[in-house]
Structure 1
Amino acid sequence: MTRTGDTLGYARVSTQDQSLTGQVAQLQKAGAIRVFEDVISGKQFDRPGLTALLDHARPGDSLAITRLDRLGRSLKELLETVENLKTKNIGLISLEERIDT
């Protein structure tokens, strides 16, 4: 896909015991100019890092994640987020699943 905006990364881990370092490095290697982070369970829909990314993103930008499960634990939650991105004309890149919209 041809990019017209910035690539913004989103990294999430579920507990304080887990590290964001690996995800952040992968996202930066994939071209993310900024990585927003959350240390919160995927069961929580209120994620300040993701909210900040969505507030910061502009039409033409892309949200990059390492895996789809970083956006949510349920299919419903994932689809709602993807629909929100589509409405805002923000692309989605998932490195593991090789998705690039």
Structure 2
Amino acid sequence: MTVLLVMAGGACGAVLRFAVNRWLSATHFPWATLVVNVAGSLLLGVVAASTDGWVFTLLGTGVAGGLTTYSAFALETVLLDRNGRRSAALLNVAASLVLAGAAFALGWWSAALA
């Protein structure tokens, strides 16, 4: 049952990531990856603070895991740097760390208040 929940959630998260990537792909900054990582961190914060069991497995491990992507973040940061856009690469790192961390904290805090 657990594997099926992770698979279902992961499929939903991956499709959402694909849709956001298509929607935000025509830019010179990796906005799509930043958006999905921040949104996934917010979701994980809410889910981690408010649920457990199968709901956490479906939404936290599955959806948030399928939606977010550290590997694309790393690749896009390196490519920005290799293409001479060092300030954009540094901005990507800083924005990803700060915004994703803040989104997780906001999600956790919001769920804890409810």
TM-score (norm 2): 0.31
Write 1 or 2 for the structure with the bigger share of strand.
1
TM-score (norm 1): 0.34
Larger Rg: 2
Write 1 or 2 for the structure with the bigger share of helix.
2
Higher relative contact order (CA 8 A, sep 6+): 2
